[in-house]
C-alpha cells in the first residue's frame, strides 16, 4: 500500500474545502473529557436530587422483606411474581432517573461540541482498523501519549481527592460502625456525592485544556502539503493552463466578432496608430453612438485597414481615442461626457458629405 505524505512536509494550513470534507466524513474535533465531565455533573445531579428518596424507598422495601420474611406469602408462582414486582418497581424508580439523565447529558455533550450528523462511513467495517501497525501507532503515537497522560492526571486527581475526602470524613466513617444499618446508604450516598462533585470541579480545568488541544490537534492533523493545496486548487478552480487556454480562445472569438463588426461602423477615431475606436451612429436607430469595435496597436491597425477597405471615415483625435478606448466597452453606447466631442465629429462628417446629419453606416 502506498505511503501517505510525510507529516513533516505538511506545512500548509487546511483549506476550507479540506475542513468541510472532513466534517462531512465525520472527522470532527471531539473531547472525551467533556463527555466525562457531563457524566460527572449528571451523576452529581442524580445523587443530589433523585437518589436520596429512591434509595430510601428501596432500603425500606428490602428492610421490610428481611425483617419480616415470613410475612410474604410464597405459596405459588403468583406470590413470587408479586414480590419481585414490588422490589423491581422500587429498583426502576432508582435506576430510571440515572439512565435518563446520563443519556441526556451524554447526548448534549456531543451536540454542544459538534452539530449532529449521520455519517455511515464512520461505522462501516474497514480492514485498516485491524492493522497491527496502525493500532500500535495509535497507542504509542503522539495522540496516544496525550491520552495516556490525561488518564494518569485523572487517576492521580481521583486518588488525591478520594484520599482527602475520606480523611475529612473519617469520623463519620468510624461512627458508621455504631449506626443502624438502614442509615448506611444515606452516609455512603453523601460521601459519594461529595466525591463526584469534587472530581467534577477538578475536571473542569482538564476539560478546558482538552477542548483546546483537540481542536489544535484536529487542525494540525488536517494540514496539507503544498502539492495537495495545488491539486485541490486545480480540482476546485480548474487547471490554470486549461483556464488560460479557454480565456485565450474566448478573447480570440470576441476579437473576431469585433473585427467582423467594423464594416458596420460610421466612422473610426484613432490615435493615430496606437488606439482605434469604431463608432456607429445612425439617427434612425436612435440612441447615442455605439462602440462596435476598439483595439490597441496591432488590432488598431487592423481596424484602420478594414475601415479603409470599406471607405469608412477615419478621424485622428489622440485624446478622444484614448479616452473612449479606456472608458467604453464594445457594444456599449458612449456616456454623456463624450457627447459634445463626438457630436463635433458627426457634424464635421455631415458638412463634408453635404447630407443629412443622420449618417449611414
Decide if 292 is inside a domain: yes
In this structure, the answer to whether residues 181 and 47 fall within a common structural domain is yes
Q: Which of 219, 356, 177 minimizes the C-alpha distance to 281?
A: 356
| Separation in Å, CA 142 to CA 3, 145, 146, 328, 340 | 19, 5, 6, 62, 76
What domain range is 58 assigned to?
28-221
Decide if 12 is inside a domain: no
In this structure, the answer to whether residues 167 and 303 fall within a common structural domain is no
Sort strands 267-270 and 275-280 into parallel, antiparallel or unpaired.
antiparallel
Q: Which residues of 35-55 are buried (b: 16+ CB within 10 A; e: fewer)?
A: bbbbbbbbbbbbbeebbbebb
Decide if 15 is inside a domain: no
Decide if 231 is inside a domain: no
Decide if 182 is inside a domain: yes
pLDDT at 1: 40
| Separation in Å, CA 63 to CA 52, 69, 179, 180 | 16, 9, 15, 12
In this structure, the answer to whether residues 301 and 213 fall within a common structural domain is no
Phi and psi at 311, nearest 5°, equal 55, 40
Decide if 71 is inside a domain: yes
CB 304 within 8 A of CB 267: no
Query: What CATH number is attached to the domain comprising 300?
Result: 3.40.1690.10
In this structure, the answer to whether residues 88 and 217 fall within a common structural domain is yes
Decide if 142 is inside a domain: yes
Decide if 67 is inside a domain: yes
Q: How far apart are CA 123 and CA 128, in angstroms?
A: 13
Number of domains in the chain: 2
In this structure, the answer to whether residues 314 and 184 fall within a common structural domain is no
pLDDT tens, per residue, the chain with 361 residues: 444 555 666 777 777 777 777 777 777 787 777 888 888 888 878 777 776 666 666 666 666 666 565 556 666 677 667 767 777 777 777 778 888 888 888 888 877 777 766 666 666 666 666 666 666 666 666 667 777 787 787 788 778 877 887 788 777 777 777 777 666 767 777 777 788 788 777 778 778 888 888 888 888 888 888 777 777 776 666 556 667 777 788 788 878 888 888 898 889 999 877 889 999 988 888 788 889 998 888 888 888 898 888 888 988 888 888 888 888 888 889 888 988 888 888 888 888 775 544 444 4
- End position of a domain, from candidates 168, 203, 221: 221
In this structure, the answer to whether residues 53 and 192 fall within a common structural domain is yes
In this structure, the answer to whether residues 128 and 203 fall within a common structural domain is yes
Amino acid at each position: 500500500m502506498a505511503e501517505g505524505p510525510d507529516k513533516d512536509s505538511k506545512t500548509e494550513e487546511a483549506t476550507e474545502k479540506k475542513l468541510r470534507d472532513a466534517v462531512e466524513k465525520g472527522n470532527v474535533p471531539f473531547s472525551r473529557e467533556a463527555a466525562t465531565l457531563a457524566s460527572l455533573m449528571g451523576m452529581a445531579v442524580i445523587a443530589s436530587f433523585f437518589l436520596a428518596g429512591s434509595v430510601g424507598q428501596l432500603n425500606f422495601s428490602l428492610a421490610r422483606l428481611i425483617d419480616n420474611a415470613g410475612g410474604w406469602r410464597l405459596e405459588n408462582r403468583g406470590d413470587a411474581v408479586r414480590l419481585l414486582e414490588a422490589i423491581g418497581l422500587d429498583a426502576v424508580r432508582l435506576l430510571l432517573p440515572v439512565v435518563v439523565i446520563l443519556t441526556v447529558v451524554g447526548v448534549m455533550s456531543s451536540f454542544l461540541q459538534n452539530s449532529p450528523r449521520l455519517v455511515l462511513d464512520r461505522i462501516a467495517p474497514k480492514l485498516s482498523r485491524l492493522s497491527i501497525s496502525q493500532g500500535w501507532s495509535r497507542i504509542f503515537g503522539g495522540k496516544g501519549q496525550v491520552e495516556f497522560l490525561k488518564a494518569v492526571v485523572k487517576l492521580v486527581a481521583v486518588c488525591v481527592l478520594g484520599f482527602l475526602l475520606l480523611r475529612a470524613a473519617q469520623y463519620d466513617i468510624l461512627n458508621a460502625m455504631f449506626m443502624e444499618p438502614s442509615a448506611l446508604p444515606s452516609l455512603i450516598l453523601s460521601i459519594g456525592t461529595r466525591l463526584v462533585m469534587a472530581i467534577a470541579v477538578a475536571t473542569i480545568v482538564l476539560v478546558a485544556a482538552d477542548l483546546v488541544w483537540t481542536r489544535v490537534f484536529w487542525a494540525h492533523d488536517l494540514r496539507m502539503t503544498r502539492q495537495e493545496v495545488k491539486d485541490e486548487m486545480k480540482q476546485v478552480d480548474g487547471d490554470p493552463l486549461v483556464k488560460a487556454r479557454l480565456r485565450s480562445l474566448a478573447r480570440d472569438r470576441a476579437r473576431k466578432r469585433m473585427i467582423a463588426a467594423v464594416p458596420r461602423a460610421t466612422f473610426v477615431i484613432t490615435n493615430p496608430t496606437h488606439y482605434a475606436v469604431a463608432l456607429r451612429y445612425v439617427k434612425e436607430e436612435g440612441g447615442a453612438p455605439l462602440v462596435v469595435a476598439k483595439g490597441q496597436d496591432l488590432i488598431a491597425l487592423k481596424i484602420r485597414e478594414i475601415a479603409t477597405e470599406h471607405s469608412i471615415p477615419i478621424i485622428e483625435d489622440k485624446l478622444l481615442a484614448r479616452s473612449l478606448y479606456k472608458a467604453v466597452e464594445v457594444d456599449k453606447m458612449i456616456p454623456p461626457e463624450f457627447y459634445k466631442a463626438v457630436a463635433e465629429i458627426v457634424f464635421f462628417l455631415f458638412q463634408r458629405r453635404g447630407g443629412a446629419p443622420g449618417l449611414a453606416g
